[in-house]
Amino acid sequence: MLNILIFGPPGCGKGTQSEFLAIQYNLKHLSTGDIFRENIKNKTDLGIEAKTYIDQGQLVPDFITINMLGEKMQSKSDFNGFLFDGFPRTIKQAESLDDFLFKMNQEISMMICIEVPKEELVKRLLKRGKSSDRADDQNKEIILSRIKVYKEQTEILKEYYDQKNKFFNIDGMSTIDDVKQKIFSLINNHQK
């Protein structure tokens, strides 16, 4: 099985690259941000609760996010593995993910982090905010808060996976296609 974790700050290109990766390697794409947005759109209890955090650029509490992801992992059918996008974002989430996978006799194969400097992230997110209905991309304060949360609570996960020799870094400051090729080569080399 190939279980990939695509990682990096908001706006680094995780969602865009995930679409290519899911198709190329036949992975089940699980984006916690997308799942929350779907719930918000459908006004579910989960969506209503999550919205209060998302609108402020804060993380949705671990117990809510972990339960939600655990449920989504149940239906894997004929995929070659999972592609985790936007999860984990805290050490607690990473430990829970290890447990979930362990119970399925599996583990994370690679964590691929796309690095992009802060000024570029703000630029990209504000641009995306103009063409999407994502409120959290339309306000600079919220964007800065999301980047701060990443730095303070999430970035430490690079060390978590590095200690397991699963951390791989990619420069995200080139074209979408270039980043895609770099990620594909990393995975292909890893599979050899």
How many Å apart are CA 49 and CA 91, to the nearest integer? 22
Restricting to residues 47-106, which ones interact with ligand AMP according to CB under 6 A? Answer: 53-54, 57-60, 65, 86-87, 89, 93
Other C-beta atoms within 10 Å of 21: how many?
A: 23
Q: Of 128, 158, 166, 182, which residue is the catalytic one?
A: 128
The answer to whether 128 is a known catalytic residue is: yes
Terminal Cα distance for the chain, rounded: 14
Tell me, what amino acid is at 15?
Answer: G
Restricting to residues 13-42, which ones interact with ligand AMP according to CB under 6 A? Answer: 32-33, 36
Nearest to 60 by CA among 93, 109, 14, 104: 93
The answer to whether 14 is a known catalytic residue is: yes
Mark 115-154 with x for binding to ligand AMP (rule: CB under 6 A) and - for no binding: ---------------------x---------x--------
Strand-pairing partners, residue 111, are 5, 167
Q: Which residues bind ligand AMP (CB under 6 A)?
A: 10, 32-33, 36, 53-54, 57-60, 65, 86-87, 89, 93, 136, 146
Catalytic residues: 14, 89, 128, 134, 146
